[in-house]
Amino acid sequence: MGGTGTLRLTRRQCGRNVLLAAVGAAVPAWIEAARSDGDEGQGVNGPDSLRAHAALRGLRYGAAVIPELLDVEGVAAGNTTDAYTQLVQGQANILVAENAMKWGALRPAAETFEFGQADRLMHFAALTGDAVRGHNLCWHEALPAWFKTTATKDNARKLLVDHIQTVAGRYRGQMHSWDVVNEAVNPKDGRADGLRNSPWLELVGPDYIEVAFQSAAAADPSAKLTYNEYDIELDTPEQIEKRGQVMLLLRRLKARGIPIHAVGVQSHLKADGPQPGAGLVDFVRQAAKMGLEVYVTEMDVNTHSLEGGPEAQDVAVARVYRDYLGMMLAEANVPVALTWGITSARSWLNESKQPWARRGDGSRQRPLPFDDELRATPAFFAIRNAVDGARAPAIPPGAAPVTDPSGLYKPFPVQGSPTTQPATAPAQPAVPPPPPFSTHPAIPAAPPAQPPPPSR
């Protein structure tokens, strides 16, 4: 309000009003909220934050972060003024390192480890009471340069086991979950078992997945061990086939008694084109029957081919968040949702030079709940509404008993897959069963933090 009581709108607000009028008269409540509050940074912090709303529902909302950007020292001293740090601290109750826990970041040489940035994230999480997901222990990408000339069929198995025991063992008892194996399925490679022709498959064999999970269980028995995958969300022919191969992989692992507790659905979605639906819901429910949780692990919404300016992006992106998270969080075994980044200022979609990430008009994408200036976008309100509408994530005792997997999924031969008993990782202690769905550690309230400034 101005001194005369006249409502003053910024040019950006006026433009948004015009756009929304063109989209339709029935503007959703969460868009109205973004239009009235988001520009001034009000109504999104403290009890209105994603962190607070998720905690009330027994859920976890979080984001991929860049540890080196976090003002850990300021948080420890209680006087941080860094806007990015305040945003992460105030909005998320579970974190994952965008790159700091991948092989390439941790292994500067075959004989050495570098834990500086990974430790920094763990220290930050300990100060703020956030849970942490580890990403990742085994992937065909982000391998260090030395791997290609050093890893052989004779030593690759030991390299994998030693890496997992060292990394997961370092953070034993501190992790919510680990992405143990990432993106191991690719039907286009033509294998009957659907596995990707990766360096690990070539050097270790198809049982590398089992070796990785067994090693992770031995190194950190309390972490929920997760298989993480992309392009399984849609009901297109390609993604239906891939989703089916992922389900077969999960069934093989369960049938062979491999310790696995969750499956991660990355959820890199597009603002235009087909959207996820019944096929993914059925996948989530089939996972529940196997006693598996499902995590939304890397969500963002790509607008590279969407026409229109920032406001058009905001409306389309928010709609995807609303529909997708509303669908996923309604399932009782989906207790966690993370976005791949929290602000478009640091989104990989804006840093990539690939054609699938660059907008034709040269403008920046707006794929996340906060924009380049750390202001809440309509996606923020869409996420919050989806969280508020979610069912409680706990499966009541007796409602969906977990059947003995040896009876539910009989072992069956698949060409190219192991036919012997699972390999045993060295020095495995007894592994306790994973926590039941109803077990959710108390989530501390967000520490007091100043609202992010309107610009960086």
The pairing of strands 60-65 and 262-265 is: unpaired
pLDDT higher than threshold 90 for residue 268: yes
pLDDT, residue 174, reads: 98
pLDDT, residue 451, reads: 42
Spatial distance between the Cα atoms of 449 and 141, rounded to a whole number of angstroms = 37
CATH number at residue 249: 3.20.20.80
298 given a catalytic annotation = yes
pLDDT higher than threshold 70 for residue 98: yes
What is the tens place of the pLDDT at every residue in 159-183?
999 999 999 999 999 999 999 999 9
Catalytic residue among 98, 210, 233, 298: 298
What is the tens place of the pLDDT at every residue in 388-424?
998 654 444 333 334 444 444 444 444 444 444 444 4
Residue 448 covered by a domain: no
Residue 338 covered by a domain: yes
pLDDT, residue 429, reads: 45
Residue 327 covered by a domain: yes
pLDDT, residue 91, reads: 98
- List the domain range (segments joined by +) for residue 85: 11-392
What is the tens place of the pLDDT at every residue in 120-153?
999 999 999 999 999 999 999 999 999 999 999 9
Residue type (1 letter), 182: N
114 given a catalytic annotation = no
Residue 411 covered by a domain: no
Residue 153 covered by a domain: yes
Question: Against a cut of 0.95, is the pTM above it?
Answer: no
Residue 93 covered by a domain: yes
Residue 438 covered by a domain: no
Catalytic residue among 183, 229, 311, 331: 183
| Structure tokens given for 198 | 């990766």
Count how many domains the chain has: 1
Residue type (1 letter), 179: D
Contact indicator for 379, 314 with CB cutoff of 8 Å:
yes
Cα→Cα distances 438→131, 263, 272, 293, 442, Å = 17, 17, 36, 11, 12
